[in-house]
Amino acid sequence: MNPDELLAAYDEQLRTDAETPGAASVTRLGPLRLVTFAGGRGFITYQDLGDADADEIRRLVGEALEHYRADPGITKVEWKTRGHDRAPGLHQALLENGFVQEESESIMIGEAKLLAGEVELPDGVTLRKVTEPDDVLAMCRMQGEVFGDEPGDAEQMTQAMLSRLAKDDGMELWVAEADGVIVSAGRLEPVAGTEFAGVWGGSTRPEWRGKGIYRALTAARANSALARGKSLMNSDSTEFSRPILERSGLLKVSTTTPYEWRR
């Protein structure tokens, strides 16, 4: 599949309710899907904005934010943009409403078999799936440290992940450990009703990078995706993980930039 075909599959198959497994609720506002997750997280996404002009988009941004402001349990909201969308005036409208632009990432897509296989790990490093609360908390705290999250975010994310695990919707949490300490982690998100499984949350402690651990963790998740009948993999990748996925044959088809609002 060429990049245009992969991007079309992404837009058609993933930019639906399939994009937000584990949502506590979803409210429609025109083309927008206003999603609420456990732990006080809001998430705004859409398949496209149609022919909306800058004035209409400004109105949608304001009304979407009011939806979340009305719920005191919501502490932060992410608006997920994509670089290939037609969205006149969206950047300015988000800033005017108090959203802060975060770092852009590459949307990577390719065949799962390209990522699969076995990758040699450094001595003393092992991989496993985790499901127990203490393990999930340790994983979320490590990821929070690597990503520079706010204090308390790890605890909120832990509750969200445990809620997902209790639903048994296919999500898998994977960690790499050295001497009992988590040094890398990520999750697998098989998307029901599609060809896709996503690899998300990939993070490795700085002192453990460049040793093949992230690649091994990704291969383990790809092997699991293939076993579940998924043929395509997708990931929103930082500049740390993008080159690794590119070397495995995945293609950059667009970019995504989150904008975040906090109460």
Digit-coded pLDDT (tens) for 76-125: 999 999 999 999 999 999 999 999 999 999 999 999 999 998 899 999 99
- Is residue 64 within 8 A of residue 80, CB to CB? The reply is no
Instruction: Write the CB contacts of 95 (distance below 8 Å, at least 6 apart in sequence).
Output: 101, 259
Across residues 228-255, what is the average pLDDT? Answer: 93
CA distance 82 to 104: 9
pLDDT at position 44 over 90: yes
Q: What is the 3-state secondary structure (H, E, C) of the chain?
A: CCHHHHHHHHHHHHCCHHHCCCCCEEEEECCEEEEEECCCEEEEECCCCCCCCHHHHHHHHHHHHHHHHCCCCCCEEEEEEECCCCCCCHHHHHHHCCCEECCCEEEEEEEHHHHCCCCCCCCCEEEEECCCHHHHHHHHHHHHHHHCCCCCHHHHHHHHHHHHHHHCCCCEEEEEEECCEEEEEEEEEECCCCCEEEEEEEEECHHHCCCCHHHHHHHHHHHHHHHCCCCEEEEEECCCCHHHHHHCCCEEEEEEEEEEEEC
How high is the pLDDT of residue 1?
80
Encoding tokens for residue 129?
């799936």
Encoding tokens for residue 240?
């740390």
CA distance 137 to 123: 25
**Could you give the angle at the alpha carbon of 78 between the alpha carbons of 243 and 101, nearest 5°?**
65
CA distance 36 to 4: 31
pLDDT at position 21 over 90: no
98-102, 145-149, 174-178, 195-199: segment of lowest average pLDDT:
145-149
pLDDT at position 225 over 90: yes
- Is residue 230 within 8 A of residue 112, CB to CB? The reply is yes
CA distance 68 to 41: 9
CA distance 143 to 110: 25
Which domains are assigned to the chain?
Answer: 3-105 (3.40.630), 110-254 (3.40.630.30)
- Is residue 196 within 8 A of residue 14, CB to CB? The reply is yes
Across residues 172-192, what is the average pLDDT? Answer: 96
57-66, 67-76, 233-242: segment of lowest average pLDDT:
233-242
How high is the pLDDT of residue 255?
97
pLDDT tens-digit series, residues 3-16: 999 999 999 999 99
